[in-house]
Amino acid sequence: MPLAFLAPAFLLGLAALAVPVLLHLVQRERKRVVPFPSLMFLERLPYRSVRRRRLRHLALLLLRCLALVLLAAAFARPLLLRSAAAPRLAGGAREVVLLLDRSYSMGYAGRWAAARAAASRVLSGLAPGDHVSLVVFDAGAALAVPPTTDAAPVRAVLDTLRVGWQRTRYAPALKLAADILGASRLERREAVLISDFQKIGRDAADPVRLPPGARLTPLQVGAGPAPNVSVTGVTFRREPVPGAERVTATARLTNAGAAPVRDLAVTLQLDGRDVETRRVTLAPSAATVVTFAPVILAHPDTRGSVRVAPDALPADDAYRFVLAPGQALPVLVLDGGSGGRSLYLERALSFSEPPGFRVSRQELARFRAADLEGAAVVVLDDAPFPGGEAGRRLRDWVARGGGLLVLLGDASRPDGIPGIPASAIGPSTDAGGPDGLALGRLEYGHPILEPFAAPGAGTFADARFYRRRPIAPGDSGAVLARFEDGVAALVERRYARGRVLLWGSSFDAGWSDFPLKPVFLPFVQQLVRYASAWTPAPVAATVGQVIDPTVARQPIDARTDGAPNGSGARAAGGADLPAGRGDLTVIAPSGARTRLSPGAGAPALALGEAGFYELRDGDARPARVIAANPDLAESDLSALDPQELAAAVTTPAATARPALEPDLTPAERDARQRVWWYLLAGAFALFATETFVSNRLSRGGGVEA
């Protein structure tokens, strides 16, 4: 227990110890009057002080010296720097933190029952006075029972626990255990980790160590080979048909076992009905795909799943999804009335992989604001920006997040384009003489051109441009491509929440041979997708995600205040959300209900179960369905060495340096201890005792000082 002083300069007062010693060594002249009849016969001699040869009255001397020592020490303000281990109570009582893994891999072939039995054995082994707490964990950790000397509450909670749906992570549980053990005053501290010890649960980038002297006792359940078949995902090929959509589902299966799986039944379900069952054979430690016959989707929120016959780990035996028709990206093309100029644009968008594009063309003279309904991007193809009310609504539509692609031809006018000054666009001119100009510099780091950066992904070098409209990008414009003479060819500008893209030439074959080159088709598709800033809704989410169920996934409608499709948003393959901002009721797969209030900010929905979440509006009408699947990384049942994990998180007590009291300044420690009060009181008590003893000795004539 180290000792320090708040004011060590007062220790110089110990030099005063020399005073009582000198007083005891030096004899003073006595002033005693002796009656004598006559002094005439006496010789007068001077009085001399004689230094004594030895000390007398040692007890009195020690009292005086000790009083001075205590007085100097009291003014120096001593501090006792207790280590972290000092305040712990002595004895055999233990602080036990029970860490119980409830990730979904613990549902494999009796592992959960074995884990609960192991926890019960730990509780039965507790001695009177032992403290125990219960922490349950998967991707996160929670303190189910705080430290207690009564094991009954822990047993009661154990009886109610069930396996969860999330993956394993040891770090949160070990951090919580370290906090509990670090705050304990007991000398013996231990964390007991009950798990199947999957390798994926250990995060090397997030090291955790228990307090010095605390130990980790691993209890492994389910050791040994763990064969398992999983449905790891489903992809879809979509084909439009009149009034509906044809969908072909392909499922991917994996076999993690060392033995083949023969005649495995794989079933496609839609809205709870078995549509088709295929039988496959899976080789050891291999994967395969199963493609089902096409089905017709005619309504949104079609709930589907691909399932295999149940095995030892049922959590990953199904992959759930929600499908809706009409996921193609809607594009509105406005031209000056000559449909031939848009021929190459429309052809490029029609030859695309599903879900692809849904292109509608309208003459500029007949354009109305209602034509913007359902559009994700508007292409102004060699046409002036519309005027009047239609132009104002189009400008507002872009400001709320719409995408505008302007192909500059002879009929284009520089005025009216959102965010683009009229002086930024020059008149059409010939480019480079008979041989034309090529594109000289492209920003391959931009999302539009990034897919073409790899070798063999397409080249722009052999395209020749014979006419163009020069663009002055200004300070706020980003130049994505230039002609070889340095003039901007593709410029992006932001307008409020929307995007405006200017292409300094036409997509007509009379202006360039670019539409005839192989790179034209993927470039146009990438250009339109980026301009829209819209992606098809995902068919499923992952357990553990936190999502906003009102996030817009559909194009912006000009008739509403930024509400997609005039009525809300579509996400995760679901139907449109209600236009109002009232409360939403979420019904979880287990039947539990949660109320979300969008008016209080962005509502957050935590996906804690696998299955289908149903969202209903304030009128209890179905608004949307979300499919959630467990994190398939947990399906990897490979185990790590429990002793290796225990050694990595513990520090032996013999090599650990005792930590001083945390976060306390010397003045704060002095205020807590008040040692100087006791020293000062002892000094005054000794002075009082010294006075009493000195007076007694003086009366007896035995003391001179």
The predicted-structure confidence for 497-517, as pLDDT tens digits, reads as follows 899 999 999 998 889 999 999
In this prediction, residue 407 carries a pLDDT of 94
Written as six digits, the tokens of 69 are: 């020592």
In this prediction, residue 566 carries a pLDDT of 36
Pair (520, 385) in one structural domain? yes
Pair (275, 368) in one structural domain? no
Taking Cα atoms as reference points, which of 99, 111, 191 lies closest to residue 140?
99
Answer yes or no: is 127 within a domain: yes
In this prediction, residue 673 carries a pLDDT of 64
Q: What is the DSSP string of 516-583?
A: GSTTHHHHHHHHHHHHHT--PPPS-EETT-EE-TT---SPBPTTTTS-BTTT----TT-PPPPSS---
Q: Against a cut of 0.75, is the pTM above it?
A: no
106 or 661, greater pLDDT = 106
**pLDDT tens per residue across span 254-298:** 999 889 999 999 999 999 999 999 999 999 999 999 999 999 987
Pair (23, 117) in one structural domain? no
In this prediction, residue 32 carries a pLDDT of 63
**pLDDT tens per residue across span 85-139:** 444 444 578 999 999 999 999 999 899 999 999 999 999 999 999 999 999 999 9
Answer yes or no: is 99 within a domain: yes
Q: Is the pLDDT of residue 3 over 80?
A: no
The CATH number assigned to the domain holding 319 equals 2.60.40.10
In this prediction, residue 653 carries a pLDDT of 58
**pLDDT tens per residue across span 346-389:** 999 888 776 688 898 888 888 988 888 878 899 999 999 998 89
Pair (628, 560) in one structural domain? yes
Q: Is residue 365 classed as helix, strand or coil in its secondary structure?
A: helix
Q: Is the pLDDT of residue 468 over 80?
A: yes
In this prediction, residue 331 carries a pLDDT of 93
Q: Could you give the number of structural domains in the chain? A: 5
624 or 666, greater pLDDT = 624
Answer yes or no: is 667 within a domain: no
Pair (651, 689) in one structural domain? no
**pLDDT tens per residue across span 143-191:** 999 999 999 999 999 999 999 999 999 999 999 999 999 999 898 999 9
In this prediction, residue 581 carries a pLDDT of 47
The CATH number assigned to the domain holding 185 equals 3.40.50.410
Q: Is the pLDDT of residue 33 over 50?
A: yes
Pair (200, 146) in one structural domain? yes
Pair (31, 160) in one structural domain? no
- Computed over every residue of the chain, the mean pLDDT equals 83
Residue-number span of the structural domain to which 285 is assigned: 230-323
Confidence grade of residue 77 (pLDDT, cut at 50, 70, 90): confident
266 membership: H or E segment, kind and range: strand 261-270
Choose one of 280, 306, 323: the last residue of a domain. Answer: 323
Task: Please give the span between the terminal C-alpha atoms of the chain, in angstroms, as a whole number.
Answer: 40
Pair (514, 605) in one structural domain? no
Pair (250, 362) in one structural domain? no
Pair (580, 591) in one structural domain? yes
In this prediction, residue 508 carries a pLDDT of 87
d(CA 133, CA 4): 37
Confidence grade of residue 454 (pLDDT, cut at 50, 70, 90): confident
Answer yes or no: is 202 within a domain: yes
Choose one of 481, 513, 532: the last residue of a domain. Answer: 532
Share of the chain above pLDDT 90, in %: 50
Residue 34: CB atoms within 10 A of its CB come to: 4
Distance of CA 123 to the CA centre of its chain: 34
Answer yes or no: is 65 within a domain: yes
Q: Is the pLDDT of residue 216 over 60?
A: yes
Q: Backbone dihedral region of 691: left (phi > 0), alpha (psi from -120 to 50 degrees) or beta?
A: alpha
Q: What is the DSSP string of 320-355?
A: EEEE-S--SEEEEEEESS-GGGGHHHHHHHHS--TT
Answer yes or no: is 303 within a domain: yes
Answer yes or no: is 434 within a domain: yes
Pair (425, 566) in one structural domain? no
Answer yes or no: is 401 within a domain: yes
Token pair 């303190």: residue = 143
- Evaluate the CA torsion angle 499, 503, 506, 512 in order and state its sign: negative
d(CA 328, CA 537): 10
Q: Out of 43-47, 332-336, 582-586, which region has the weakest mean confidence (pLDDT)? A: 43-47
- State the average pLDDT over residues 229-256: 89
Single-letter amino acid code for the residue at 280 = V
The CATH number assigned to the domain holding 436 equals 3.40.50.880
Q: Out of 350-354, 383-387, 519-523, 563-567, which region has the weakest mean confidence (pLDDT)? A: 563-567
- DSSP 8-state code for residue 223: -
d(CA 191, CA 210): 9
Q: Cα separations (Å) of 9 from 2, 278, 675? A: 18, 90, 17
In this prediction, residue 570 carries a pLDDT of 36
In this prediction, residue 696 carries a pLDDT of 77
**pLDDT tens per residue across span 663-690:** 456 676 666 667 777 888 888 888 888 7
27 or 406, greater pLDDT = 406
Pair (216, 341) in one structural domain? no
Q: Out of 2-6, 214-218, 271-275, 674-678, which region has the weakest mean confidence (pLDDT)? A: 2-6
Choose one of 323, 350, 371: the last residue of a domain. Answer: 323
In this prediction, residue 560 carries a pLDDT of 43
- State the average pLDDT over residues 206-218: 90
Confidence grade of residue 305 (pLDDT, cut at 50, 70, 90): very high
Q: Is the pLDDT of residue 553 over 50?
A: no
Taking Cα atoms as reference points, which of 447, 409, 415 lies closest to residue 428?
409
429 membership: H or E segment, kind and range: strand 429-430
